[in-house]
Structure 1
Amino acid sequence: MDEKSTTPTRIYPSTPLEQPVLPNEQQQALLPPAPPTYTQATGAAPTTTGQNTSHVVVITPGAPLVYGPAPVDIQCPYCHNYTRTRLRFRPTSRTHLIALLLCLFQLYCFVCLPYCIGSCMNTAHYCGMCDRYLGTYVRE
């Protein structure tokens, strides 16, 4: 007989290909990498002058939103939702003056008319989601 045919052939390796991993190491491998430090991100070495420095953060609001007689699409500063404002009309002294003039001209049927027309009153804007007051459009 041939010598090659008598020696058994190994199909599997003698040592396992996978190496055992501890549970703690496995958990560390699944976590995302830590973010870079400030010096790594900026590429500059930190400067230490030995003085206590304080950081001041200045928050500048965007352009002020001018409310008009119609509803406006905004991001509410209170609930931070994008929504359309709700309108509520408030009578002004001009509204009362028009009603008084209609009364003086004995047009009693039309006295309530200035209180029904939105163009005779100021427009108050409220958030459509949280219903908080946002601003007023004053008629001139």
Structure 2
Amino acid sequence: MASAVELRFLVLRKELHKLGFKEPLGLESVPLVEKLCSDLVHMTENWHNAKQEVAKSLKEARNVDTALEPVQTDNRRLVRENNELHLKFEFLHKVQALEKVGSIKSDKIAQLQEKNMEAVNTFFVFCTVKLPAKNSLQV
């Protein structure tokens, strides 16, 4: 009957053979090689898991990009519309400001015309009251 060390040796030898290691193995190296083999298997599994996670993450990123395309298209359209509306608002604001200035100027013109008309009337009254005799001679 094989001892525990020999049994461990045979199990380890089969495992190493499956992994492609055909080099000779001494009984005294069994504990170290078992540990190294266990670490190798564990790290290989971790590497495969990490590789799958990366592939999954890349696929999810592509799906997100695909899902974002309509939103990005809408965003570009909305930004363009917003810019157009902003320009229209600025134009409207300028028109309103000019209309206000124009209204103020129109009021001022009306006031000046009224004042001018009063001056003309005053002058006319002055001329007709002060110069009645001269007007009758010239006619």
Q: Same fold (TM over 0.5)?
A: no
By percentage of residues, which structure has more helix?
Answer: 2
Which TM-score applies when normalising by structure 1? Answer: 0.29
Structure possessing the higher relative contact order (Cα contacts under 8 Å, 6 or more residues apart): 1
Larger Rg: 2
Which TM-score applies when normalising by structure 2? Answer: 0.30
By percentage of residues, which structure has more strand?
Answer: 1
